[in-house]
Structure 1
């Protein structure tokens, strides 16, 4: 599914999807969002893939929506653009494989949303984040959905109402990214994280990721009820039986993805 806007590479069980539009600051045009969603959909059906890294070429991870597509459009056009974006963000979290954002530079507006929507994120110490739509009269309303869930109300509102740049270290303190590393170690650190994930059963990881997002907005009692059912299902799975047996027998497990 390589194109002028995206290219993919799989090494072992790790798939890297790279935004390849650096001359446009990796702006999320309608075409690019459709292509990225298509890549994710293909990955979801590929049992050889255990984790996805979302990367970008150039100095900017993503500047957000392609503003050249915004002026003078019809209501239907705007609805298509923003619904396509929202569907892509939701698909990231529906994907059975964890998605790790590898953020090498600036991530603003829907680009910041993309980082917040990913399951995990590793950032270069040269990265920065902002939701500056308020400064151009277009409030970052859809970016605030995953942003609020990642960093909480007060910090999200500060970003949304001021549009100020948040450094990588501040983003880590707030919970927007998992780790900040020197730029020269970004790829290595992201791969280390991905390698830890793909060492586990793909079935177990996929089940756990789905359960995480399903329970997160439930009240505690309902979350426990739901989680107990998932653990029962998980315990009956072949990989759980194999993993527990391997632990008791002091050997490495042999996963079969079931």
Structure 2
């Protein structure tokens, strides 16, 4: 096991175990709020993980009982005294948060959310944005902005792309929390597990994915998110083009040869 970024005061702790890099939000006293500093730290950590050739899967985790409570309302309040009543700051932080969410889906590595507790507002958005999410039985999820006069529009973008429209709107307009099993039924998380098995299950997923063709995963992740808002015809056109390029790659050559020869593939992209 190797590790880096283990300064106990850091906003993000980084653990590297083989090809799996775990990014751990480390502000439990502030409920891992997505403050401007936390958003910047996460954006930098994802960039570094994506650029690292040894890292094949990224796990997003958190310390404390709360995964993330969303934006830092105390930070919002502090900027009410700005000359523009906080308008510039609010615009900047929402734009930065939106850029972070898009970064998670645009980087080449698969991102798994390891959800050990409550995820609300932009914290729920963060879970819904990750490629996969595993949660404990005790976790709960919600978009309660409406309760404080601030509709969760940003989180709504991610939620409505994971959750059926009626259920998404119910979450957004009532602000009520849903338990982990309901979140699984809605499509926010993939699996719900006992707390003592969370790390084991996440590591199993991460290790299995890390052993797949990195070239195929890169092609696939990019294509799936790009086609999501296309017409059916355009989506199939894109899929055909991407699969053609994928098939010309070294990993596809090796994978097909290995299948025909009844042997395990030795992926060039993992060397």
- Same fold at TM > 0.5: yes
**Alignment of structure 1 residues 87-236 onto 2, 5 Å:** 87-236=99-248
Consecutive unaligned residues of structure 1, counting only runs of 5 or more, are: none
The match for 1:239 is: 251
Q: Distance in 2 between matches of 1:152 and 1:81?
A: 28
Q: Once superposed, which parts of structure 1, at least 4 consecutive aligned residues long, lie more than 3 Å away? A: none
Q: Work out which of the residue numbers 79, 82, 89 in structure 1 matches 2:91.
A: 79
In the TM superposition, residue 243 of structure 1 has moved relative to its aligned partner by 0.6
Equivalent of residue 22 in structure 1, options 24, 28, 45: 28
CA deviation vs aligned residue, 1:187-215 (integer Å, no higher than 9, x gap): 11111111111111111111100000011
Aligned length: 258
Q: 2:266 aligns with which of 249, 254, 258?
A: 254
Once residues 209 and 29 of structure 2 are traced to their aligned partners in structure 1, the CA distance between those partners, rounded to angstroms, is 33
TM-score (norm 1): 0.98
Deviation of 1:152 (Å): 2.1
Output the CA distance in 2 between the equivalents of 1:172 and 1:74.
37
Quote the offset at 1:251 in angstroms.
Answer: 1.2
SS at match of 1:223: helix
Match of 1:8 among 5, 14, 24: 14
Q: CA contact under 8 A between 2:76 and 2:86: conserved in structure 1?
A: no
Q: Does 1:40 align with 2:55?
A: no
Deviations 1:111-163 (A, max 9, x none): 00000110100000010000000001111110000100000211111001011
Q: Using the alignment, how far apart are the partners of 1:60 and 1:5 within structure 2?
A: 15
Deviation at 1:218, TM superposition (A): 0.8
| Gapped regions of structure 2 (runs ≥ 5) | none
Output the CA distance in 1 between the equivalents of 2:73 and 2:88.
17
Q: Displacement, 1:217?
A: 1.0
In the alignment, the residues of structure 2 paired with residue 218 and residue 80 of structure 1 have an alpha-carbon distance, to the nearest angstrom, of 29
- 1:67 pairs, out of 66, 73, 81, with 73
Alpha-carbon distance, 1:250 to partner = 1.3
Provide the C-alpha distance between the structure 2 equivalents of 1:87 and 1:251, rounded to a whole number of angstroms: 42
Aligned-partner Cα distance in 2 for 1:141–1:216: 19
